[in-house]
Structure 1
Amino acid sequence: MSTDAVTSDPAPGDNPGQSPVSGPLSMGVEEEFFVADAQTHHLADSGPLLDTVSRDGAECYSAELRPCMIESRTRICWSLAELRTELRARRDALISAAAEAGTVIVASGTYPSADWRQVGFTPQPRFDHIATAYARLAEEHLICACHVHVGVDDRDTAVEVMNRVRSWLPVLSALSASSPFWAGEATGYASYRSTIWARWPMAGMPPTLSSYADHRDRVRRLISTGTSADAGQVFWDVRPGTRYRTVEFRIADSCTTIDEAVLQAGLSRALVHQCLIEIAQGAPAPEAPSELLHAAKWRAARFGLTEKLVDPVTAELVPAAVLVNRLLDHVRGPLVEAGDWAEVTGLVRGTLHRGNSAGRQQRAFADSGSLADVVKQLITETMTAEPRR
């Protein structure tokens, strides 16, 4: 795909507006991975892998709902270079431990050839509750995501940031899409994981909130009605962090490559920074009707970067590269100030040129007609952090 639409480099000193942010915003990334047998590539138990990596970094890894999945967490980072090093270290530890256990890790929103009917649940009280309460929704929940945390200490400010970033979430989804296959079949979607999540009663695009007290009251109602067990089970696409004083972006599929995870983090942090500038200036939040937000998210999940996407603010249908370019224009100032402009725009150019993970998987399947080859490609990209050229 052409990269001509990507925003040009800023002129020296081009940093519009005075930023109210003193120093870089902190960030961290949570990555979810599938675990598969190294020989058969069938999904495998992550228990031995988790036991190994937890010896040296228990705080960095945890079990997931399904026993064939594992989550890693970076430490708090202040630069994209630091974050990249952390992501590489977390993956390298998992790759090494997996090799000892005769397994491999796979970063993808769905596992192309897996059948959810053949996978059980991790035996933990919290997961037992989810399996019982949500029945088939939980049974089909065989998906992996990438979550980005950006430090925002004040809870009311975090809610205001949520209100302002919603219109850009579909773009983040399109860039990260990595789940075109489900239960051994092509879905026609770039991010089928998004459609799986959309069925849950406490997931999806968050409502407009007036304050953190409003957020807390809504969460309480979800808990009191039995919709959620606790605040951690309110799975909105963006939310105030439940364990940390952050804004947590939950829109992205599991990022197959480290480059794609770094891109999600860089754009998410820049979005938060831009929101803080707008809040300090007293600028009104953009008007984005809920029906257009949902339409924009669906179209991003359906097509990724291959067709036109919905700009929910202008209500236009525009080429994906144009909407990505609008996002870069929107966060130019924060990216320049953080020294991230060159890296983020370079990563965007690479993604538009090579395609997101979903596009690369679809090409691999078109070339060979074999999901086994798609899985091999995912394993290679997850381990080497290099997308298929």
Structure 2
Amino acid sequence: MRTVGVEEELLLVDPESGEPRALSAAVLARAEQNDAGQDVFEKELHEQMLEFATHPQADMAELHEEIVRCRKEAAGHAGGIGCAVAALATSPLPVSPAVSMNDRYRWMAEQYGVVVHEQLVCGCHVHVSVESDEEGVAVIDRVRPWLSVLTALSANSPFWQGRDSAYGSYRSRVWQRWPSAGPTELFGSAQTYHQRVADMVATGTILDEGMIYFDVRLSQRYPTVEFRVADVCLDSGTAVLIATLARALVDTAAKEWREERAPAGHSVSLLRLAAWRAARAGLTEELLHPVTMRPAPAETVVRDLLEHVGAALEANGDLDRARETVAELLEHGNGARVQRELLERTGSLRDVVTECVRRTQGT
């Protein structure tokens, strides 16, 4: 069974005002006093963010337990210096992001200007193990049409600088401003993939391979493919669902590759439109169906994703729980819907953040 690891980026906020606080260095210093924190929590581009990474897990229940534990540990470290953590993909309240200045981030700030200084967004990245780069690239080619559905399921960033963005996942729209971000054309082989990456680095537009921000990419550090399309999820169970579906997509794609079934030939232009529609709609309106690239109800598209990867889910023992979590999301909504309902009920973005802090620490 393939292993899965999750990286979550959390927002550091003031527990009273709900405003983001640039305290990641202090939180990391506190975490490093404990040996367990040294290989779990990491600095990110902005000082208002804290990232953690789970260990590779084959059992999704164990992955869920680790995500919950890491969130609680992050909350404990943050609370020790007077702030809190929230699983929010953008700040509901206005913020002036503070860039973490090391050599790498300084180069990025000089190269990309205002993009870096506005790019305070929190994602959920999922690593799924593969046997080789060749298998990994075959997977990348075959999962492309389904990635927008993961964005829709995870959408958790409706607000931007104190206003409703009209998007479910505005984070994904902000992320697209990086020059290397977004969907990719078909590669066909690992050799072509690596040559494409080398050519992109050679332009000088990006610093190195670490700045290849494809929607799905081969990891530099691990023998995995890395899914990068999801918002950080308000509910830890949603994060586990995204990880579960990512693994099932990899299993399904690898099987198709071994059976010499060609990947869908959708153009990057259509994939961009599908990604935009998913970011805009979340689960509340129509999405572009990954097979036809025509509008279809979000519930239909999500159900068809479950059917597409159903055999892999069943083989991994994940089918029942995936169905249950999907049903809960379709009934009660993803993070974007929850945040909007909280604002409608309380009339206060500060109260939205306060409740999201509570949910982050309690899940």
TM over 0.5: yes
| Partner of residue 18, structure 1 | none
| Partner of residue 121, structure 2 | 143
Deviations 1:77-135 (A, max 9, x none): 011011011111211111111121111101111011032xx222112111111111110
Which residue of 110, 121, 128 maps to 1:132?
110
Deviations 1:208-228 (A, max 9, x none): 112122111111122111121
AA of the residue aligned to 1:34? L
The alpha-carbon deviation at position 67 of structure 1 amounts to: 0.6
AA of the residue aligned to 1:35? L
Which residue of 94, 103, 108 maps to 2:74?
94
Aligned counterparts of 1:119 and 1:298: Cα–Cα separation in 2: 25
Aligned counterparts of 1:290 and 1:216: Cα–Cα separation in 2: 19
Which residue of 43, 48, 61 maps to 2:26?
48
Aligned counterparts of 2:325 and 2:227: Cα–Cα separation in 1: 19
Aligned counterparts, 1:109-128, within 5 A = 109-115=89-95, 118-128=96-106
Aligned with 2:156: secondary structure?
coil
Aligned counterparts of 1:346 and 1:263: Cα–Cα separation in 2: 10
Gaps of 5+ in 1: 1-23
| Partner of residue 51, structure 2 | 71
| Cα RMSD for the two superposed structures | 1.1
Deviations 1:116-159 (A, max 9, x none): xx222112111111111110111110100000000003001101
Aligned with 2:80: secondary structure?
helix
| Partner of residue 12, structure 1 | none
- 8 Å contact kept, 2:9–2:52: yes
AA of the residue aligned to 1:197? W
Matched, 1:267 2:240: no
Matched, 1:228 2:206: yes
| Partner of residue 220, structure 2 | 242
Which residue of 265, 275, 293 maps to 1:297?
275
Aligned with 2:339: secondary structure?
helix
Percent of pairs with identical residues: 38
Aligned with 1:204: secondary structure?
coil
Matched, 1:348 2:326: yes
AA of the residue aligned to 1:56? D
| Partner of residue 11, structure 1 | none
Gaps of 5+ in 2: none
Aligned counterparts of 1:233 and 1:240: Cα–Cα separation in 2: 12
Aligned counterparts of 1:86 and 1:322: Cα–Cα separation in 2: 32
| Partner of residue 15, structure 2 | 38
- 8 Å contact kept, 1:148–1:248: yes
Aligned counterparts of 2:131 and 2:66: Cα–Cα separation in 1: 23
Aligned counterparts of 1:52 and 1:260: Cα–Cα separation in 2: 28
- 8 Å contact kept, 2:17–2:350: no
Which residue of 83, 94, 99 maps to 2:63?
83
Aligned counterparts of 1:326 and 1:288: Cα–Cα separation in 2: 18
Aligned counterparts of 1:320 and 1:126: Cα–Cα separation in 2: 40
Aligned counterparts of 2:271 and 2:180: Cα–Cα separation in 1: 16
Deviations 1:248-298 (A, max 9, x none): 000001111110110010000000001111112121212323222111110
The alpha-carbon deviation at position 39 of structure 1 amounts to: 2.4
